[in-house]
Amino acid sequence: MTAILQPGFWVFILTMSGIYGIFTLGLQVQYGVGGILNFGHVGMMALSSYTMAILVIAHGFNFWIAAASGVAVAALGGAFLGLTTLRLRGDYFSIVSIAFSEIVRYVIFNSDGLTGGSQGSLAIMPIGDAYPSYTDTWDTILYWIRDHLTPIFGEVADRDMAMGILVWITLGILLFIVSRVERTSWARVLRATREDDDVPSALGKNVFRFRLQAVIIGSIIGGIAGIYWALQVTLLSPDDFLTIVTFYAWMILILSGATKVKGLAIAAIFFGFLYGGTRFFTFWPFSVFDASQRSYMRIMIIGIVLIVLMIRRPQGIFGKREEMVLE
């Protein structure tokens, strides 16, 4: 019960919210603009984080090159998924996308020699006899920031706080860029494809190209989230990339009102607090259950809150209601 009183816990929640926010922004481009239902988004996060970790730990790559490569691999993953399935009907894409992310996870889980398998990134064979860590470069930055925060925040300033700041700056920049992209005619065409293929194609728009680009951009953003995820958890495990993570992002997206980026940051914080806060539901009646039962109940409570919100405000916190009633 004491953790709830500590600022460190809430900094942690905010950081995770920010990472989820970045992750969800990728889905927002795909679904909010393009109407593409991607349920395998977490696969892109897995690809980028593991690529980065392997390149740094096993091959001694410079962190920045490794991180950029990770994001590039996520983009390739998106391109592969899109090229193979995007020509099919939308629901096929959704199904295949889940399979895609699960396959990525299974491959990671079963490639002990490459990924460390079930033991995670700790078991990746390091180059030389170094400790299998990929955070050294980043930590230098974090500690530099922390040292500059200490005069302001005193003891509270730590690695996590520095991380949180960088995550939120990144989310802010990405939100800005994406909101600009969504004002281009590219996004207008993509929005049209959300409703209908015939009209844009009859006007000379290659619908497939627009969708593919949306999936790739979303995957790049998902890949960036993956790098931050890796840096935040410091040790990767295949279990970090369960399909449920994609659905958390979907919750955030639906909460924020999918068609506008405006509410995304707030929805991510809302979700973070809901997710983190329910951890402290140890009092009666929750005290009747043991810890593992309670962790299931958290998910249930989050689900119920979301259902209630959806009924009261189907357009999300910031969405436009009129858009939902047009026939």
Dist CA 264 CA 221 (whole Å): 14
321 near other proteins (CB under 8 A): no
148 near other proteins (CB under 8 A): no
Instruction: Report the residue number, 164 or 263, with the smaller CB distance to other proteins.
Output: 263
Instruction: Report the residue number, 148 or 209, with the smaller CB distance to other proteins.
Output: 209
155 near other proteins (CB under 8 A): no
Instruction: Report the residue number, 74 or 189, with the smaller CB distance to other proteins.
Output: 189
Number of shown-chain residues binding other proteins (CB under 8 A):
28
89 near other proteins (CB under 8 A): no
262 near other proteins (CB under 8 A): no
Residue from 123, 181, 242, 266 touching other proteins (CB under 8 A): that is 181
Name the minimum Å distance from CB 156 to other proteins.
Answer: 40
Residue 314: cis peptide before it, omega within 30 degrees of 0: no
Q: Give 186-252 as a DSSP string.
A: HHHHHHHHHH-SHHHHHTT--HHHHHHHHHHHHHHHHHHHHHHHHHHHSS--GGGG-HHHHHHHHHH
Q: Is there a contact between 58 and 127 (Cβ–Cβ < 8 Å)?
A: yes
C-alpha dihedral sign at 183, 189, 190, 191: positive
Instruction: Report the residue number, 195 or 239, with the smaller CB distance to other proteins.
Output: 195
Which x/- pattern over 191-210 shows residues binding other proteins (rule: CB under 8 A)?
A: xx-xxx-xxxxxxxxxx---
Name the minimum Å distance from CB 19 to other proteins.
Answer: 25
Closest CA to 236 of 141, 104, 143: 104
Q: Is there a contact between 260 and 319 (Cβ–Cβ < 8 Å)?
A: yes
Dist CA 88 CA 95 (whole Å): 11
Closest CA to 12 of 156, 172, 194: 156
Can you tell me whether residue 184 is helix, strand or coil?
A: coil
Name the minimum Å distance from CB 177 to other proteins.
Answer: 9
327 near other proteins (CB under 8 A): yes
Name the minimum Å distance from CB 186 to other proteins.
Answer: 5
Name the minimum Å distance from CB 259 to other proteins.
Answer: 8
Name the minimum Å distance from CB 187 to other proteins.
Answer: 9
Output 243-247 pairs: Cβ under 8 A, ≥24 positions apart: 243/39, 243/40, 243/42, 243/98, 243/101, 243/102, 245/23, 245/42, 245/45, 246/38, 246/39, 246/40, 246/41, 246/42, 246/98, 246/101, 247/39
Instruction: Report the residue number, 212 or 245, with the smaller CB distance to other proteins.
Output: 212
Residue from 59, 148, 180, 321 touching other proteins (CB under 8 A): that is 180
322 near other proteins (CB under 8 A): yes
Name the minimum Å distance from CB 152 to other proteins.
Answer: 37
Name the minimum Å distance from CB 203 to other proteins.
Answer: 5
Dist CA 40 CA 37 (whole Å): 9
Q: Which residues are at the interface with other proteins (CB under 8 A)?
A: 180-181, 184-186, 188-189, 191-192, 194-196, 198-207, 213, 217, 322-323, 326-327
